């Protein structure tokens, strides 16, 4: 079977360039135009930035937006999994995973699907915003009744990753001494995260997953599942991910970690007693801005924003271009829903990700995967490049050729191009139902 050449430009469907007075033009995937916090202020040279009406101050950014014990659980369920010895030699004395489920598990347990989220995702894959869930599900079109992963047919499980900040054990959760782990939280690897998820599967009575699916950091865990417990994964879908982190990726991740560490309010990770507005939100926001450039393509950023000023701001008077406002928005947005230590912990797991560690190398590890496999790349992805997906597909015996999502949106195409991703997954599930 042939597949699209990733070097061929995707059809141009980027929004037309525009700048909305007093508002930020576009907020990326799942976002909307938001008020410009610099409207009506003066630049450093003293020039007034237009005549827009000053907007009310936003509430201060919390020191941490982690879910804490006592908060509204929403749809979360919790699994206490006992102590866990870590790959680094450390130990967590007690591990808890928060998770959500949809659908019903068959009597034979053969219809279970595991959905694994990316870096700043969580267990709330699908569902409305509400108590305990300030935002709607991040993959609404993929999971639900009649969706590609049909909850009328499958029992779907989505855990918040070990090291996360939405109910699972992580640096923001409570250590045995009653205080947040903070700087004392140990180094985790993707392999440790999968070890915890294996225990969750045991607790739920799932011997074998009909499908394990994830993208980006979630895709790294998909591959680790298939290498760690091949007998427990019938099929896998690995989207926009890799089997081994590259030097280029490590370099980008390093600058993000440096941005967080350079914020004096980070306090080496012990900031949980800080009042709102006094946490490390500046460093976390800068880290997100660095990352966000790799989440979108150069073509999209240029065609969407180009060199358009933000509203009435004049870059020659110290004002911003629209693309700067866009990045500012995404930095602020993440700081209001995430946790700096969690960002550091999970970024480090991606830095150390290597499927071939202690397995004779990446190709040897992939060769032992027995699952049927669908490997998906986004043709404009500059974070997890198509070449990395090609390596994964070439190494897994049960994988066909890489299937391409054609998008101007870069890495975020796995979230934005819902129709393309949905068709690929639905077609794969139909063929996976057939005998080998």
Three state DSSP letters for the chain: CCCCCCCCCCCCCCCCCCCCCCECCCCCCCCCCCECCCCCCECCCCCECCCCCCCCCCCCCCCCCCCCCCCCCCCCEEEEEEEEECCCCCEEEEEEEEEEEECCCCCCCCCEEEEECCCCCCCCCCCCCECCECCCCCCCCCEECCCCEECCCCEEEEECCCCCCCCCCCCCCECCCCCECHHHCCCCCHHHHHHHHHHHHHHHCCCCECEEEEECHHHHHHHHHHHHCHHHECEEEEECCCCECCHHHHHHHHHHHHHHHHCHHHHHHCCCCCCCCCCCHHHHHHHHHHHHHHHCCHHHHHHHCCCCECCCCCHHHCCCEHHHHHHHHHHHHHHCCCCHHHHHHHHHHHHCCECCCCCCCHHHHHHCCCCEEEEEEECCCCCCCHHHHHHHHHHCCCECCCEEECCCCHHHHHHHCHHHHHHHHHHHHHHHCCCC
Instruction: Assess whether pLDDT exceeds 80 at residue 9.
Output: no
What is the model's pLDDT at position 434?
58
Do 264 and 306 share a structural domain?
yes
Tell the burial category of 12 from Cβ atoms under 10 Å away from its Cβ (0-12, 13-18, 19+).
exposed
From the candidates 124, 252, 411, 432, give the one annotated as an active-site residue: 411
Q: Point out the domain boundary residue: 329, 348, 367.
A: 348
Backbone angles phi, psi at 350, to 5 degrees: -70, -35
When the pLDDT of each residue in the chain is averaged and rounded to a whole number, the result is 89
What is the model's pLDDT at position 49?
34
Residue keyed to tokens 């790799």 = 294
What is the model's pLDDT at position 58?
85
Asked whether residue 37 is assigned to any structural domain, the reply reads no
Supply 22's token pair.
């007093």
Could you tell me the CA-to-CA distances from 122 to 155, 159, 175, 265, 368 in Å, in that order?
18, 7, 21, 25, 29
Instruction: Assess whether pLDDT exceeds 60 at residue 291.
Output: yes
Do 364 and 287 share a structural domain?
no
Asked whether residue 5 is assigned to any structural domain, the reply reads no
**Taking the mean position of all CA atoms in its chain, how far away is CA 434?**
32
Supply 293's token pair.
């450039």
- We report the CATH number of the domain holding residue 395 as 3.40.50.1820
Pick the more confident residue, 297 or 11. Answer: 297
Instruction: Assess whether pLDDT exceeds 70 at residue 3.
Output: no
Instruction: Assess whether pLDDT exceeds 70 at residue 304.
Output: yes
Query: Among residues of the chain, what percentage have pLDDT more than 90?
Result: 85
Distance in angstroms (rounded) separating the CA atoms of residues 69 and 47:
48
Do 173 and 300 share a structural domain?
no
What is the model's pLDDT at position 232?
98
What are the tens digits of pLDDT across the range 315-373? Answer: 999 999 999 999 999 999 999 999 999 999 999 999 999 999 999 999 999 999 999 99
**Average pLDDT value for residue range 91-117:** 98
Asked whether residue 72 is assigned to any structural domain, the reply reads no
Asked whether residue 158 is assigned to any structural domain, the reply reads yes
Do 291 and 358 share a structural domain?
no
End-to-end CA separation in angstroms for the chain: 18
From the candidates 123, 168, 216, 297, give the one annotated as an active-site residue: 216
Do 105 and 165 share a structural domain?
yes
288's CB contacts (< 8 A; 6+ apart) are 256, 330, 331, 334, 335, 343
- We report the CATH number of the domain holding residue 284 as 1.10.1740.110
Do 101 and 125 share a structural domain?
yes
**36 falls in which pLDDT band (50, 70, 90)?**
very low
381 in active site: yes
Do 373 and 329 share a structural domain?
no
Residue keyed to tokens 């080496």 = 268
Asked whether residue 39 is assigned to any structural domain, the reply reads no
Specify the number of domains making up the chain. Answer: 2
Lowest-confidence segment of 16-20, 120-124, 244-248, 369-373 by average pLDDT: 16-20
Residue keyed to tokens 């057939």 = 434
Query: Among residues of the chain, what percentage have pLDDT more than 70?
Result: 86
User: CB neighbours (10 Å) of residue 54?
Assistant: 11
Do 401 and 369 share a structural domain?
yes
**423 falls in which pLDDT band (50, 70, 90)?**
very high
What is the model's pLDDT at position 29?
35
Asked whether residue 318 is assigned to any structural domain, the reply reads yes
Domain of residue 339, residue span: 250-348
Asked whether residue 16 is assigned to any structural domain, the reply reads no
Q: Point out the domain boundary residue: 313, 348, 383.
A: 348
What is the model's pLDDT at position 24?
31
What is the model's pLDDT at position 343?
99
**Average pLDDT value for residue range 12-24:** 32
Residue keyed to tokens 């279970």 = 112
Do 263 and 209 share a structural domain?
no
Could you tell me the CA-to-CA distances from 382 to 252, 254, 388, 407, 409 in Å, in that order?
11, 17, 11, 12, 10
What is the model's pLDDT at position 348?
99
From the candidates 192, 263, 339, 381, give the one annotated as an active-site residue: 381
Q: Point out the domain boundary residue: 293, 315, 348.
A: 348
Q: Is the pTM of this model over 0.95?
A: no
Instruction: Assess whether pLDDT exceeds 90 at residue 252.
Output: yes
**Average pLDDT value for residue range 61-89:** 97
């Amino acid at each position: 079977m042939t597949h699209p050449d990733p070097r061929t430009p995707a059809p141009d469907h980027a929004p037309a360039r525009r700048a909305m007075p007093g508002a930020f033009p576009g907020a990326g995937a799942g976002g909307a135009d938001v008020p410009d916090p610099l409207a009506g202020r003066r630049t450093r040279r003293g020039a007034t930035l237009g005549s827009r009406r000053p907007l009310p101050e936003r509430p201060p950014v919390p020191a941490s937006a982690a879910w804490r014990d006592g908060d509204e659980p929403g749809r979360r369920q919790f699994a206490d999994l006992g102590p866990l010895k870590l790959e680094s030699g450390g130990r967590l004395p007690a591990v808890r995973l928060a998770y959500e489920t949809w659908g019903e598990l068959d009597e034979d347990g053969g219809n279970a699907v595991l959905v694994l989220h990316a870096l700043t995702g969580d267990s709330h894959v699908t569902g409305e915003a509400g108590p305990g869930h300030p935002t709607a599900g991040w993959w609404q079109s993929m999971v639900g009744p009649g969706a590609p992963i049909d909850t009328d047919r499958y029992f779907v499980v989505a855990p918040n990753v070990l090291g996360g900040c939405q109910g699972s054990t992580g640096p923001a959760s409570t250590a045995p001494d009653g205080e947040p782990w903070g700087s004392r939280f140990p180094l985790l690897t993707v392999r440790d995260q999968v070890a915890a998820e294996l225990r969750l599967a045991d607790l739920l009575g799932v011997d074998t997953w009909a499908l394990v699916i994830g993208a980006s950091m979630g895709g790294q865990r998909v591959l680790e599942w298939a290498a760690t417990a091949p007998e427990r994964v019938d099929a896998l879908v690995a989207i926009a991910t890799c089997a081994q982190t590259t030097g280029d990726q490590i370099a980008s991740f390093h600058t993000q970690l440096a941005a967080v560490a350079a914020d004096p309010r980070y306090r080496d990770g012990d900031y949980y007693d800080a009042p709102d507005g006094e946490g490390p939100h500046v460093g976390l926001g800068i880290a997100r801005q660095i990352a966000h450039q790799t989440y979108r393509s150069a073509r999209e950023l240029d065609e969407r924003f180009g060199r358009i000023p933000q509203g009435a701001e004049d870059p020659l008077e110290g004002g911003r271009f629209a693309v700067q406002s866009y990045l500012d928005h995404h930095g602020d947005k993440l700081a209001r829903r995430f946790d700096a230590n969690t960002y550091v912990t999970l970024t480090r797991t991606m830095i150390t990700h290597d499927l071939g560690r202690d397995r004779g190398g990446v190709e040897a590890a992939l060769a032992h995967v027995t699952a049927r496999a669908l490997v998906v790349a986004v043709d404009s992805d500059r974070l997890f490049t198509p070449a990395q997906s090609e390596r994964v597909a070439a190494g897994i015996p049960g994988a066909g050729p890489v299937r391409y999502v054609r998008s101007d949106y870069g890495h975020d195409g796995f979230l934005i191009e819902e129709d393309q991703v949905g068709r690929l997954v639905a077609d794969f599930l139909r063929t996976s139902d057939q005998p080998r």
